[in-house]
Structure 1
């Protein structure tokens, strides 16, 4: 988490005070002081969440110092509209935000609840309301259906990042908001490796290997060493290819553990050149190289189009996996503003349960959300780009076999 303090000056228009960007239902419930109605709005509608960029440009939720005397150091500040966010931020330079629903807020609060004193909605008014973290999670009621043990569920039906719909109205305006990142919202049984910081990356890899080999005892020391070295090698290759995050599913199946891994890539491509969008160029390139059993589909959603490319490949020859068939699934999503493309790349050896794995990867995609920000003047003046990311460039990671 990252803390930041709003400046105590008059607000600037960097976050446009648009009353239609956010949740009218939440604003009305706050005005009425009705905690039950606020909980209902949190379950059914969006909430505005301020975000910051890490040093490598990837986004993270912004938290703020807790009031003096609090047992925990931070508080999470949420907002019913971008107008209430602007009133709180005043002239603070960091003004990016995302629009979230309950199924992406719950994992964050669960993961960081021990460091949060409170969750405050509209702290600068006009009708602030404060929740304890336990009370807030209870209001969200984020329990997945019994038939969905993955914990990933989506009720919007709008595809990737439908919760950002209200904030997308300015992406075609000069200086308007556009997608500057995409955030994964994975349940706790996913092990995440952040690729941007080598020491943290190696620590996360050690933790994954230790957890997955705990039952083997001391005799697993050579195996743990080999697994660590292989995962570090895979992570290094993914980072060199533009990867931001790797994640491994650690969910037991009925007969064997499910093996699925994910690498998130982000491609900043700049303004489009010519008549084709960046995503259309990716689609044309993949479509021209499809194998007889490959499938490529395009889906239009309320927050933009995405491609799904499904094919069967082989494991890594360096570790004797050349005879292991792998189901490879790539999602290419066009960021709002059409200057960037996100790629979610999955691999799994469970080729025999293809449909079930695709349902799972679809749900991972639908649980992501766009991070929106305003381009700087330098970015706005940058020359147009004339390149699309090479679908074949990143090395396919090995499956989650740890």
Structure 2
């Protein structure tokens, strides 16, 4: 199953399965945000192009899900997105990634030394935040605040990376607070098959 979380305001999910799914999802999301009025055609085209660029990068990097924010509150636009990667814990060198805390968490859970008491205690989370300059493969996107949350869940051992990004670089601290709050809502249900 996928990690679940609460996204504040209004967000839309972009299908990553194929180029056609990405285009259709981007078109629906843009029309939901801006409507279909003729005078907004160029704005829709620009926004659709930005969403399709991010969706292509997400798809080629192996993302499982991509969500775009439309509004943080009614009438308050919020340029941000969330990319979700479900990863194979067995193939990751967590210490090399600076994720020793998750290594310990997964090791304890696999060795039977971990007994979850509440849903909040069944997760290990490590946050990395930075400002990414314009340039590189995402040059069309521009300068960004990016925040990665590496999430490990026990019984069975699972790992995911949730990456938030926003061009609102002047609000880095506020964005991190918001993204931390979203991660605070995270649940990662286990398939029923694991209990049989």
> Does TM-score exceed 0.5, indicating one fold?
yes
3-state SS, counterpart of residue 364 of structure 1: helix
- Counterpart in the other structure of 2:183: 365
- Cα RMSD of the aligned pairs, angstroms, is 3.2
Distance in 2 (alpha carbons) for counterparts of 1:320 and 1:331: 21
Q: Is the 8 A contact 2:53 2:140 kept in 1?
A: no
Q: Deviations over 1:44-75 (max 9, x none)?
A: xxxxxxxxxxxxxxx3xxxxxxxxxxxxxxxx
Assess, with a 3 A threshold, how the Cα gap between structure 1 residues 182 and 199 changes in structure 2: closer, same or farther: same
* 8 Å CA contact 1:327, 1:351 repeated in 2: yes
Map of 2:29 onto structure 1: 208
Q: CA deviation at 1:238?
A: 0.6
Between 1 and 2, higher relative CO (CA 8 Å, sep ≥ 6) is seen in: 2
Alignment size in residue pairs: 172
DSSP 3-state at the match of 1:370: coil
Residue 283 of structure 1 is aligned with which of 90, 98, 107?
A: 98
Distance 1:233 1:284 in 2: 29
SS at match of 1:342: strand
- Show the counterpart of 1:246: 66
What is the CA deviation profile of residues 142-199 of structure 1, one whole-angstrom value per residue up to 9, with x for unaligned ones?
Answer: xxxxxxxxxxxxxxxxxxxxxxxxxxxxxxxxxxxxxxx4234435611121323554
Q: Is the 8 A contact 1:209 1:224 kept in 2?
A: yes
Equivalent residue runs for 1:3-402 within 5 Å? 59=1, 181-187=2-8, 189-196=10-17, 198-214=19-35, 217-251=37-71, 257-270=77-90, 279-283=94-98, 302-315=121-134, 318-319=139-140, 321=142, 324=143, 326-337=144-155, 339-373=157-191, 374=193
Unmatched 5+ stretches in structure 1: 1-58, 60-180, 273-277, 286-300, 376-402
Change (3 A) 1:268 1:204: same
1:312·1:328 contact (CA, 8 Å) conserved in 2?
Answer: yes
Gaps of 5+ in 2: 101-119
The 1:186/1:337 distance shift into structure 2, 3 A limit, reads: same
Q: What is the alpha-carbon distance in structure 2 between the residues aligned to residue 214 and residue 254 of structure 1? A: 15
Q: How far off is 1:342 after superposition?
A: 0.5
User: Quick one: distance in 2 between partners of 1:320 and 1:312?
Assistant: 13
Q: What are the superposed Cα offsets for residues 124-144 of structure 1, whole Å, 9 maximum, x if unpaired?
A: xxxxxxxxxxxxxxxxxxxxx
In 2: Cα distance, 1:182 partner to 1:255 partner: 28
Shift of 1:309: 0.4
Query: Which one has a larger percent helix, Structure 1 or Structure 2?
Result: 2
SS at match of 1:210: helix
Structure 1 CA distance, aligned partners of 2:77 and 2:49?
A: 22
